[in-house]
């Protein structure tokens, strides 16, 4: 009499170590990536060959040739900007970046910088596009 043996092995791969490695790779790439925060406001910035790349953080003010002002991505007026800046608790530690189009009147930029200085802001940067030589 002949006996038949069934030698079928049913092995399933252990997926938990692979999932751990994939998760660690995702975390690594998320932590090492740089994210550019740019609101949906298009602005024609003036060019400069000595512009430095810096991280834009804090308060962002946008000034246009036609007189429009934006605080972040919301339209504002000069008086509303004054009220908002006056309501900040520690202005010396908050960075402010001013984005102004190339054709904005020089007096308008000076007025904004004057307002920032009157309200106690000292970390102010003017933004420009990198101009290739």
CATH number at residue 75: 3.30.420.270
pLDDT computed for residue 90 by the predictor: 86
Query: How many separate domains does the chain show?
Result: 1
The answer as to whether 57 is a domain residue is yes
The answer as to whether 124 is a domain residue is yes
pLDDT computed for residue 32 by the predictor: 82
The answer as to whether 115 is a domain residue is yes
pLDDT computed for residue 57 by the predictor: 80
E-strand stretches of 10-95: 47-48, 59-63, 69-71, 74-76
pLDDT computed for residue 35 by the predictor: 64
The answer as to whether 24 is a domain residue is no
pLDDT computed for residue 12 by the predictor: 79
Residues 116-128 have pLDDT tens digits of 999 999 888 888 7
The answer as to whether 31 is a domain residue is no
The answer as to whether 25 is a domain residue is no
What lies within 8 Å, CB to CB, of 109 at 6+ separation is: 63, 98, 100, 126
The answer as to whether 66 is a domain residue is yes
Domain containing 124 equals 47-130
Q: Indicate the SS3 state at residue 48.
A: strand
pLDDT computed for residue 43 by the predictor: 63
The answer as to whether 105 is a domain residue is yes
Please name the helix (run of DSSP H) or strand (run of DSSP E) that holds residue 112, with its range, or none: helix 106-118
Q: Pick out the chain residues at pLDDT < 70.
A: 1, 34-45, 47, 51-52, 54-55, 130-133
Considering the entire predicted model, what is its pTM? 0.61
- Furthest CA-CA distance within the chain: 107
Q: Indicate the SS3 state at residue 46.
A: coil
């Amino acid at each position: 009499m002949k006996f038949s043996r069934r030698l079928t092995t049913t092995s399933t791969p252990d997926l938990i170590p692979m999932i751990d490695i994939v998760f660690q790779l995702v975390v690594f790439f998320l932590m090492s990536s740089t994210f550019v925060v740019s609101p949906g406001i298009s602005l024609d910035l003036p060019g400069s060959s000595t512009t430095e790349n810096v991280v834009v953080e804090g308060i962002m003010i946008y000034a246009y040739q036609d007189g429009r002002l934006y605080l972040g991505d919301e339209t504002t007026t000069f008086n509303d900007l004054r009220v908002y800046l006056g309501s900040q608790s520690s202005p010396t530690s908050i960075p402010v970046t001013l984005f102004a189009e190339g054709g904005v009147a020089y007096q308008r930029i000076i007025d904004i910088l004057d307002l920032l200085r009157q309200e106690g802001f000292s970390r102010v940067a003017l933004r420009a596009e990198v101009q290739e030589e």
